[in-house]
């Protein structure tokens, strides 16, 4: 038997080396078949962390690697032995940036023949860019300019106690200037960088939310570990405060995992009432249970079940008054280093969706159509609950098809509901030529609002429209204790700290 010269001497048991596995991940990534993390986890290659590291590092230097591959024409000259562009990127990265190629055989042999040429082209690029270290060639991203948002969780201890302890532990100084947050960490030629004065900023729109420098690590911080701090992006906090359920409300989080919005809803309720949290993934549900326990969200009941399978007229769901809907979406508003690199290199402009979403693996237009259909189904089902008063709908998408168009479709099918004018102090509003009162919705734009791209709408029962569809018993037509229960509720302005 003869071994192909491109095969590595350090193969895993399935006969696949890290470069073959990495090439497959990159190919699937370009086709939007999943995220880097999910594709690496689903790979047959056993050393998942090693594979993830190789792919991520290759993506960071992708534009530089492509320039060198193009200048040297290595893929044209040695395509038979080296392979395609993704394989060339992986091998060239390890040769120039990763400490050496981790395989033997034909691929390594051919790459080493051109090593001097590769290094010469790299030196030229570094001079052109004024780079003194190879690490200086890593691209700068919008995500580095955004704050890291941290929500103080009053369900564990008081806001003032948590903030005081945090300020003391990290030696933070308060600022009102976002630029101070980014400037508090000065990048250097080393991978670690150097801290200058650390700042924090109290958010003006979301109560109990603060912003710090994006490189601040909380994962070993006592306040994070005991649930006093929850890492949650600013835009992700809007659904709970826009829904604004009164204390003691019975609520549903329709697509709940990993649970940040759920715990935020519990904080809004001050652990009164009940939140039924649904998710179809047992793995995500277990993760959510751990998160909710740490957050001391005692009013939450988790359910391993699809929200769409819930009977709105069965107990206890027939008494639900507020529903938070944040279903799977394209994720096109999420600011990510890796997705930004891939999208720019491939001329694409959307992030991968969750691997279990109805659009997984479909082309862009088909994906959006499939997602929008699913999103409409979720919101329509939420509006079918007999006592529901308010339903929030949110996505981390920038696309009108998943946002205003979904709301328009849902309202057309549910004339007994209308849009609530939410968070009037937020300036960026919904936009549509066909959706009436689109400005009642809100949007966020990362480069201007310094948070992930997001869309939020709240639909509330219209008291001027009589709905006879739920008149199933003689006692359903009146609530003697609260005859104005379905009256319009305006969302109060967020408290400004």
User: CA-CA distance, 237 to 271, in Å (whole number)?
Assistant: 17
- For residue 215, give every residue at least 6 positions away whose Cβ sits within 8 Å of its Cβ, in sequence order, or none: 148, 185, 193
Cα distances (angstroms) measured from residue 340 to each of 56, 139, 140, 350: 12, 10, 10, 9
Beta strands across the sheet bearing 209-212: 172-174, 198-202, 209-212, 148-152, 229-231
Are 30 and 62 a contacting pair, CB within 8 Å? no
Element (H, E) at 284: helix 282-294
b or e along 474-486 (b: 16 or more beta carbons within 10 Å of the residue's beta carbon)? eeeeeeeeeeeeb
Are 491 and 420 a contacting pair, CB within 8 Å? yes
Q: Are strands 198-202 and 172-174 parallel, antiparallel or unpaired?
A: parallel
- For residue 53, give every residue at least 6 positions away whose Cβ sits within 8 Å of its Cβ, in sequence order, or none: none
Taking the CA atoms of residue 369, residue 375, residue 378 and residue 380 in that order, the dihedral angle to the nearest 10 degrees is: -80
Q: Which residues are catalytic?
A: 396
- Record the tokens describing residue 412, joined without a space: 């057309």
- Record the tokens describing residue 278, joined without a space: 């649904």
Q: Is 332 exposed, middle or buried (0-12, 13-18, 19+ CB in 10 A)?
A: buried
Strand ranges (E), 396-487: 417-419, 442-444, 454-461
Q: Residue 399: how many CA atoms within 13 Å on its side-chain side?
A: 18
Cis (ω within 30 of 0) for the bond into 316? yes
């Amino acid at each position: 038997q003869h071994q192909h010269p491109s095969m590595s001497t350090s193969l895993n048991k399935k006969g696949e080396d890290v470069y073959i596995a990495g090439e497959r991940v990159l190919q699937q990534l370009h086709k939007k078949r999943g995220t880097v993390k999910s594709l690496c986890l689903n790979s047959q290659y056993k050393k998942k962390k090693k594979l993830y590291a190789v792919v991520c590092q290759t993506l960071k230097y992708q534009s530089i690697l492509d320039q060198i591959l193009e200048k040297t024409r290595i893929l044209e000259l040695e395509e038979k032995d080296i392979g395609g562009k993704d394989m060339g990127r992986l091998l060239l990265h390890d040769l120039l940036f990763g400490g050496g190629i981790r395989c033997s055989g034909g691929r390594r042999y051919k790459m080493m023949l051109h090593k001097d040429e590769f290094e010469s082209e790299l030196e030229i690029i570094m001079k052109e860019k004024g780079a003194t270290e190879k690490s200086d060639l890593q691209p700068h991203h919008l995500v580095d300019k955004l704050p890291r948002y941290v929500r103080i969780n009053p369900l564990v201890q008081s806001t003032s106690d948590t903030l005081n302890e945090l300020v003391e532990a990290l030696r933070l100084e308060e600022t009102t200037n976002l630029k101070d947050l980014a400037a508090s960490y000065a990048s250097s030629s080393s991978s670690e960088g150097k801290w200058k004065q650390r700042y924090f900023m109290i958010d003006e729109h979301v109560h109990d939310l603060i912003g710090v420098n994006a490189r601040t690590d909380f994962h070993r911080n006592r306040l994070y570990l005991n649930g006093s701090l929850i890492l949650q992006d600013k835009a992700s906090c809007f659904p709970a405060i826009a829904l604004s359920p009164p204390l003691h409300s019975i609520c549903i989080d329709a697509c709940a995992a990993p649970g940040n919005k759920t715990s935020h809803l519990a904080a809004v309720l001050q652990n009164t009432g009940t939140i039924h949290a649904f998710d179809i993934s047992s793995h995500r549900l277990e993760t959510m249970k751990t998160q909710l326990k740490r957050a001391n969200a005692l009013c939450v009941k988790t359910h391993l079940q699809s929200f769409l399978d819930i009977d709105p007229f069965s107990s206890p769901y027939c008494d639900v008054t507020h529903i938070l809907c944040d279903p799977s979406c394209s994720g096109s508003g999420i600011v990510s280093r890796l997705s930004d690199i891939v999208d720019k290199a491939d001329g694409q402009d959307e992030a991968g969706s969750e691997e279990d979403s109805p659009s997984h693996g479909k082309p862009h237009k088909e994906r959006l159509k499939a997602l929008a259909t699913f999103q409409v189904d979720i919101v329509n089902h939420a509006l079918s609950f007999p006592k529901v008063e308010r339903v929030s709908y949110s996505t981390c998408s920038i696309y009108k098809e998943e946002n205003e168009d979904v709301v328009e479709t849902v309202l057309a099918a549910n004339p007994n509901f209308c849009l609530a004018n939410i968070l009037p102090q937020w300036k960026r509003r919904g936009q549509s030529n066909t959706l009436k009162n689109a400005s009642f919705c809100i949007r966020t734009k990362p480069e201007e609002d310094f948070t992930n791209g997001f869309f939020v709408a709240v639909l509330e029962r219209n008291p001027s429209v009589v709905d006879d569809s739920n008149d199933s018993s003689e006692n359903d037509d009146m609530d003697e204790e609260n005859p104005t229960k379905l009256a319009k509720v305006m969302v109060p302005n967020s408290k400004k700290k």
